[in-house]
Structure 1
Amino acid sequence: MLRLAEGQPDLERVRTVDAHDASELTKTEQRQKEPTEEVIGTALAAGDAAVWVIAQGLERAAKGRWWRRSRDSLGAYAEATIGRSAVYGHQLREKRRSP
């Protein structure tokens, strides 16, 4: 994933544009924009896949109550295992169920 970021232009070479500038992109900006958007799309797809895999794992933990000897709840287990809140863990599990 970190190698993917190397496909983006060097930030120092991206021109700073005023917030009110509505001009057309220059050829250089277009050349910078296209690979950056490809990197964003690929990273987003990888992130979605990772979320799906994490949700599958939490689904199994919930079904098997794998935390029962080490934690008080699935939420505490999720926080310890994925470093995120119980709400986040629940959202992942719900997202996994939806198409």
Structure 2
Amino acid sequence: MNLQLSVDNRAEIFGDATSIADLAQFSFTGEDSQKLDIYRVDEILQADWSGEIRDMEMEYATGVTTTFKDGSRLTVAAWADCCDRTGYCSHCGQGALAA
């Protein structure tokens, strides 16, 4: 497994020893950046941390950076395509049925 992520606590506003981003990184235990797509990262974060998310930036085939309400940021690399291109993909609109 090759999960690439980083936590940035420089803008954390409460001065806590543990930020939301520190905790949120554990939502990705067992994941692999080579197999993750940005939509799966979004699904995981929305399922576990939706009430704590202030902003999310998604860049296809690169990753997701999420800023939480405490100012901490979590960046998760997600390099996989969102589909295998054999059927229509609701995320990217590509695949065999697209055109």
With structure 2 as the length reference, what TM-score do the two structures score?
Answer: 0.29
Indicate the structure with greater helix content.
1
With structure 1 as the length reference, what TM-score do the two structures score?
Answer: 0.29
Larger Rg: 1
Indicate the structure with greater strand content.
2
